[in-house]
């Protein structure tokens, strides 16, 4: 019954705005999270390996990888990717530094150094990495057909 | 473009029941996320069993207008970290007398892990490197949580039956009562150690106990080895008093003959030795037969004392003996008392 309603809605939407249903599928986005594990090699040296964890412990270093690809037939303009940070994770920087962040749940955005954090008692101080609640990448150019990339940021389990 | 959808959710199975599906109970999810955010600020870290859910979101303008898409959601569960610390609550050495029984040392056991955990407690009175060992050690739990041992209130610890079960970041006060041997001498010290070990397991940091973590994940030994210990010390502080009496005779003719009418000045020197103190120290001396006490002749450290028992000063004469109350006298000090009699 529910499925039928959804179908009807989809058809209705397609009729109302032709092309909408197609456009909704022309960019794919995937998220992966890895944890850094220190592995001892047979020769006695240690190496840091990335593993896809099912479980972690406080203090573990996580690497978040967001992949995007335009699989449609038209460019995607004004493309941006947002990753709200899980509450249990403290932000630890991105690989390229091109991101903007928010420390207030997505209200104000900017580079971390430009933001301030208001404490519960009203004190205002410069924002810290651990204050970050959202990370966003804004692309100034449109995402052309077939183009893809990945965005990487790091965090620590609180 | 504004984002109003909540795409990260943290939930705790222990606190809030099974995972609530996103979208079906938005309010409940938001509340749990806030609560967990507060817990996550604690030193112990994110509570064991918390799921970390990550979803990215992309927006763009397609041919038909703005489009918002979500990525897949990655879910990771936070395992239990087993950590414990034990700290002596005694500010320094606990002063005791030799032969004293049921002397108390105090400790605080803190669960510094991120899950609920019970701990096995052990007292060790046979540590090396100290001067003597106490005996009959019994561990008590501070039932009324006032930090002070209360006989009849605080309960005896029995391994396996009332192991203290501590929430993350919470503590319990623990007492060890033990007996001081009669042979211990002044200045000797004894070490009394309390250790606490996580019941789930302990060992080298990183050791993992599959499926045994609070919240359903694994339990992983943290940096403390899930094994903490600390020591308190007893110090014997004994004191003894030695009393030396001497007499000086002055006769009425200017000589030193013990003739009737001559005045005898008795001097009593109390010398306290040892590292402790003597409390409520009193010196009494009977007036010898065939002599008469000279009224108001008692002195302490050169200052006169009255004969009256009714006043506040330390001296009195009761008709047959003098008495001086010296109060508490620490080791290494002396008190000198004099009084006079005449020979009948």
How far is Cα B226 from Cα A14, in angstroms, rounded to an integer? Answer: 60
pLDDT score for B43: 58
Shared domain check, B94 and B62? no
Task: Tell me, yes or no, whether B157 and B123 share the same domain.
Answer: yes
Domain edge (last residue) among B56, B78, B100 = B78
CATH code for position B195: 2.60.40.10
B40 with B66, same domain? yes
Q: Which residue is closest to B210 within chain A, CA to CA?
A: A55
Give B165's Cβ-side CA count (13 Å radius): 5
Is residue B252 over pLDDT 60?
Answer: yes
Instruction: List the single best residue of A13, A58, A59, A103 to mutate versus B (max B Cβ within 10 A).
Output: A58
- The values of phi and psi at residue B16, to 5°, are -130, 15
The CATH number assigned to the domain holding B317 equals 2.60.40.740
Query: Which DSSP string corresponds to B206-257?
Result: T-EETT-STTSS-EEE-TTTTEEEEEEEEEE--EEEEEEEEEEEE-TTSS--
Is the pLDDT assigned to residue B258 strictly greater than 70? yes
Residues B174 and B140 both lie in one domain: yes
Confidence label for B311 from pLDDT (cuts 50, 70 and 90): confident
Among the three residues B24, B52, B78, which one is the final residue of a domain in this structure? B78
Residues B230 and B125 placed together within one structural domain of the fold: yes
Number of domains in chain B: 3
- Whether B176 maps to a domain, the answer reads yes
Same domain, B162 and B192: yes
Q: Considering chain A, what is the average pLDDT of its residues?
A: 83
Residue B263 lies in a domain: yes
Q: For B149, which DSSP code?
A: -
Domain annotation covers residue B127:
yes
Quick check: is B190 in a domain? yes
Q: What integer is the mean pLDDT of B66-86?
A: 93
- pLDDT at residue B4 tops 60: no
Statement: residue A52 has pLDDT above 80: yes
Å from A24 to nearest chain B CA? 6
Residue identified by tokens 């009332």 is: B162
Q: Which two tokens stand for residue B249?
A: 């005779």
Which pair of structure tokens corresponds to residue A17?
Answer: 């705005």
User: Is B212's Cβ below 8 Å from some Cβ in A?
Assistant: no
- A106/B55 touch (CB, cutoff 8 Å), yes or no: no
Across the interface, whether the CB atoms of B46 and A157 are under 8 A apart is answered yes
Inside any domain, residue B3: no
Is the residue at B215 inside a domain? no
> Is pLDDT larger for residue A109 or for residue B19?
A109
Contact by Cβ (8 Å): B89, B106: yes
Work out the pLDDT band at A25, boundaries 50, 70, 90. Answer: low
Q: A24 falls in which pLDDT band (50, 70, 90)?
A: very low
Q: Cβ contact (<8 Å) for A30 and B59?
A: no
Confidence of residue A100 (pLDDT cuts 50, 70, 90): very high
pLDDT at residue A4 greater than cutoff 60: no
B101 shares its domain with B227 = yes
Dihedral pair phi/psi, residue B15, rounded to 5° = -85, -30
pLDDT of residue B296: 94
Q: Are residues B329 and B259 in the same domain?
A: yes
Position B280 in a domain: yes
In this predicted structure, what is the pLDDT of residue B250? 93
Query: Domain range holding B153?
Result: 81-202+221-236
Tokens at residue B40, please?
């996550």
Mean pLDDT to the nearest integer, B288-300:
94
What's the pLDDT tens digit per position in B151-187?
A: 999 999 999 999 999 999 999 999 999 999 999 999 9
| Same-domain status, B60 and B163 | no
Share of chain A above pLDDT 90, in %: 54
Together in a domain, B43 and B137: no
- Whether B2 shows a pLDDT value over 70: the answer reads no
Contacts of B39 (CB under 8 A, 6+ apart): B12, B46, B47, B168
Taking CB atoms and an 8 Å cutoff, what residues of chain B touch A24?
Answer: 62, 64, 67, 69
Assigned domain for B2 exists: no
* Measured distance CA(B230)–CA(B107) in Å, rounded: 8
* Strand (E) or helix (H) holding B33: helix B26-40
Q: How far is Cα A30 from Cα B264, in angstroms, rounded to an integer?
A: 108
Over residues B226-243, mean pLDDT: 93
Q: What is the pLDDT of residue B39?
A: 34
Mean pLDDT confidence for A29-43? 88
**Residue A15 pLDDT more than 80?**
no
Put simply, whether A105 touches B (Cβ < 8 Å) is: no
Q: Same domain, yes or no, for B283 and B186?
A: no
Q: Which pLDDT value is given to residue A40?
A: 81
The nearest alpha carbon in chain B to A54 belongs to: B76
Residues B228, B85 share a domain: yes
Instruction: Find the mean pLDDT for residues B250-265.
Output: 91
- The last residue of one of the domains, among B44, B78, B112, is B78
Q: Is the CB of A32 inside 8 Å of chain B's CB atoms?
A: yes
| B22 pLDDT more than 80 | no
**Measured between CA atoms, how close is B100 to chain A, in angstroms?**
47
The better pLDDT of the pair B136, A17 is held by: B136
pTM for the structure as a whole: 0.69
A71 touches chain B (CB under 8 A): no
pLDDT of residue A108: 93
Q: Is the pLDDT of residue A9 over 90?
A: no
């Amino acid at each position: 019954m529910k499925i039928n309603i959804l179908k009807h809605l989809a058809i209705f939407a397609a009729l109302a705005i032709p092309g909408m249903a197609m456009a909704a599928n022309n960019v794919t986005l995937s998220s992966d999270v890895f944890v850094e594990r220190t592995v001892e090699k047979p020769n006695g040296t240690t190496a840091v390996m990335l593993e896809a964890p099912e479980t972690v412990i406080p203090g573990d270093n996580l690497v978040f990888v967001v992949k995007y690809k335009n699989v449609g037939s038209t460019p995607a303009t004004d493309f941006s990717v947002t990753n709200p940070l899980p509450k249990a994770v403290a932000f630890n920087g991105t690989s390229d530094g091109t991101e903007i962040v928010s420390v207030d749940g997505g209200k104000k955005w900017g580079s971390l150094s430009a933001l301030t954090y208001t404490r519960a008692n009203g004190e205002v101080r410069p924002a810290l990495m651990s204050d970050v609640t959202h990370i966003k990448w804004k692309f100034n150019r449109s995402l052309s057909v077939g183009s893809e990339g990945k965005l990487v940021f790091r965090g620590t389990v609180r | 473009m504004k984002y109003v959808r909540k795409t990260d959710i943290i939930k705790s199975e222990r606190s809030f029941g099974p995972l609530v599906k996103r979208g079906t109970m938005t309010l409940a999810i938001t509340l749990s996320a806030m609560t967990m955010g507060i817990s996550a600020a604690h030193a112990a870290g994110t509570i064991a069993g918390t799921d970390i859910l990550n979803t990215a979101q992309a927006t763009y303008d397609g041919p038909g207008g703005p489009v918002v898409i979500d990525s897949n959601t990655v879910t990771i569960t936070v395992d239990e970290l087993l950590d414990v610390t034990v700290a002596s609550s005694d500010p320094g050495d606990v002063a005791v007398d030799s032969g004293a029984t049921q002397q108390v040392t105090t400790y605080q056991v803190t669960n510094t892990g991120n899950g609920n955990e019970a701990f096995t407690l052990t007292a060790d009175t046979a540590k090396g490197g100290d001067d003597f060992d106490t005996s009959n050690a019994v561990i008590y739990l501070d039932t009324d949580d006032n930090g002070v041992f209360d006989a009849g209130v605080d309960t005896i610890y029995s391994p396996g039956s009332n192991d203290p079960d501590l929430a993350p970041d919470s503590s319990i006060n623990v007492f060890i009562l033990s007996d001081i041997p009669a042979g211990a001498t002044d200045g000797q010290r004894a070490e009394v150690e309390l250790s606490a070990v996580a019941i789930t397991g302990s060992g080298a940091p990183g050791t993992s106990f599959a499926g045994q973590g609070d919240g359903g994940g694994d339990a992983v030994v943290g940096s403390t080895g899930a094994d903490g210990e600390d020591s308190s010390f007893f110090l014997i502080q004994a004191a003894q008093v030695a009393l030396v009496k001497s007499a000086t005779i002055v006769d009425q003719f200017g000589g030193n003959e013990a003739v009737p009418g001559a005045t005898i000045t008795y001097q009593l020197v109390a010398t306290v030795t040892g590292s402790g103190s003597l409390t409520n120290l009193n010196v009494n001396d009977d007036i010898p037969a065939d002599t008469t006490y000279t009224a108001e002749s008692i002195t302490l450290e050169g200052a006169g004392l009255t004969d009256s028992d009714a006043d506040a000063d330390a001296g009195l004469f009761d008709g047959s003996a003098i008495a001086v109350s010296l109060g508490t006298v620490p080791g290494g000090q002396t008190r000198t008392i004099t009084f006079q009699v005449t020979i009948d």
